[in-house]
Amino acid sequence: MSTHAATATLPRAMSADRPTREQREPNPPARHASAGRWQDALFEHTTRCFALLVLATLVGILLALLITAWPALQKFGPAFFFTNVWNPVTSTFGGLAPIYGTLVTSFIALLIGVPVSFGIALFLTEMCPAPLKRPLGTAVELLAAIPSIIYGMWGLFIFAPLFGDHVQPLLTSTVGKLPVIGALFQGAPNGIGILMAGIILSVMIIPFVASVMRDVFEIVPPVLKESAYGIGATTWEVVWNIVLPYTKVGVIGGIMLGLGRALGETMAVTFVIGNAYKISAGLFEPGNSIASALANEFNEAADPVHRASLIALGLVLFLLTFVVLALSRMLIAQLAKGEGKRT
């Protein structure tokens, strides 16, 4: 045999002696079709139980509130929600003033907090220099970790005197002279009242809303924004036409998160709202909210009707939160339906 033939035969002989991949790695044992059925069934039933547990908890809370608030609802009827009387001495209670205070302070908080949060999120995602982005974002998130009682103490001892001495007289002399809205900014400049509570609530919800908006703004694909900038769009046009339509569900969710925080806030509002069961046209006047009423009087409510009336206010707060959530879901569904029509 020639040398060329020997060298050609050698690799074939070596490859014949070398074990194949199938010989080196035996096939794994065949998995029976029913081997994992009980694990899948267990996982499915466990997750279903978790979901039903949340629903059962929600229904249980609602039933507990209804049962314990029934004495007040039975005694006063629907007039409880439309009567501005709260007199523990005569056992006459009406929840209109706390309901009014809760709605007005939450509206003021959103009116101030949402634009500020939008500006913070827009600056951090679109215009902030890279060295400042992380420190500023961390500072905004740290505001959310401050306990609410600290906000209340700061509002009562630091911000309220400054607000009463400088801001309220300025508002009275300027905005207070306008024909329609001027009545809202009239009253004694003592720094405590509905407007003060709304401002404190706005400071408290800004970290939550701004953090959510910043996170959802950052998930916009860069190619969409770069394409808009490439055809000459300004920053505002990119945000209004690209970023907001892409992230509107997350933005609405962040606003609803802030509204839920404002509706249920207790200690900070208790410090600065004045805790007076009355409805006034002026925002400088003291008022009350559902959460502050519960915090102030629940432990001292010895009369069963008084305690039931307070729990009825808690039921109203529960229903308000549910209505806000339902409206947000309806708005999101309506926006999604509109997108389907355009496409």
Element (H, E) at 180: none
Q: What is this structure's pTM?
A: 0.82
257-267, pLDDT tens digit by residue? 889 889 988 88
Mean pLDDT over the full length of the chain:
85
* pLDDT recorded at residue 28: 54
pLDDT digits (tens, 9 = 90+) for 23-58: 555 555 555 555 567 888 888 889 999 999 999 999
Backbone angles phi, psi at 86, to 5 degrees: -145, 95
Q: What is the mean pLDDT of residues 318-340?
A: 78
Question: Which pLDDT belongs to residue 308?
Answer: 94
- Exposed e or buried b for every residue in 12-33, given b needs 16+ CB within 10 A? eeeeeeeeeeeeeeeeeeeeee
Confidence band (pLDDT; 50, 70, 90) for 3?
Answer: very low
Helical packing angle, 290-297 and 304-342, nearest 10°:
160
Which tens digits make up the pLDDT trace of 149-176?
999 999 999 999 999 999 999 999 999 8
Distance of CA 274 to the CA centre of its chain: 25
The whole-number pLDDT of residue 35 equals: 52
Interval 197-201 mean pLDDT: 95
Confidence of residue 64 (pLDDT cuts 50, 70, 90): very high
